[in-house]
Amino acid sequence: MQVADNMAVSIHYTLTNDEGEVIDSSAGGEPLVYLHGGGNIISGLEQALHGKAVGDKFNVRIDAENAYGEFMDDRVQVISRAMFEGIDEIEVGMQFHADVSDGPGIVTVVNVDGDEVTIDGNHPLAGMALTFDVEVLELRPGTREELAHGHIHGAGCEH
């Protein structure tokens, strides 16, 4: 059996940047399980996994465009502290749900200077090429419910 659309795919992975720093890893924890073809993982990784089989191990470098996109300067804005009504303490690194240029999203506070707060609506990994070390652990056809909902069902998933 090979990775194909509508398959439940279970992988272990380690994600690094171009400097070799580990950004994320499933090693020592639960594997990532996703519905292939459902757009549930970045497109470059999904393309690299297509056609792989259980036991396959590989390394793939994915450019920013096929990962979290290019960094967009227009998603960085300076806004008034007054926009954060009801929040007493605003600190760098805080994240908030907000309407961004392409709809609802998350913005991160990147600077606080008096009454001016700089927010960034880019994904934290935007503009970065990413390298994945991957091992395919399990494959199975997605269930009817999973296909209808567009994602894998597991512990904690309620509809």
Domain ranges of the chain: 7-68+126-149, 73-120
Reported as half-sphere exposure (CB side, CA atoms, 13 A), residue 38 has a value of 17
In the predicted structure, residue 156 carries a pLDDT above the cut 50: no
CATH topology of domain 73-120: Thrombin, subunit H (2.40.10)
CA 115 to chain centre: 32
Q: Could you tell me which residue, 57 or 105, shows the higher pLDDT?
A: 57
Selecting from 3.90.1200.10, 3.30.1240.10, 3.10.50.40, 3.30.43.10, what CATH number does the domain 7-68+126-149 have?
A: 3.10.50.40
> Which of these, 79, 78, 63, 77, lies nearest to 126 by C-alpha position?
63
In the predicted structure, residue 159 carries a pLDDT above the cut 70: no
> Which of these, 98, 15, 4, lies nearest to 51 by C-alpha position?
4
Does pTM surpass 0.75?
yes
- pLDDT of 76-129, one tens digit each? 999 999 998 889 899 999 999 887 766 788 899 999 999 999 999 999 999 999
Give the separation between CA 20 and CA 144, rounded to whole angstroms.
40
Backbone angles phi, psi at 75, to 5 degrees: -90, 0
- The residue type found at 115 is D
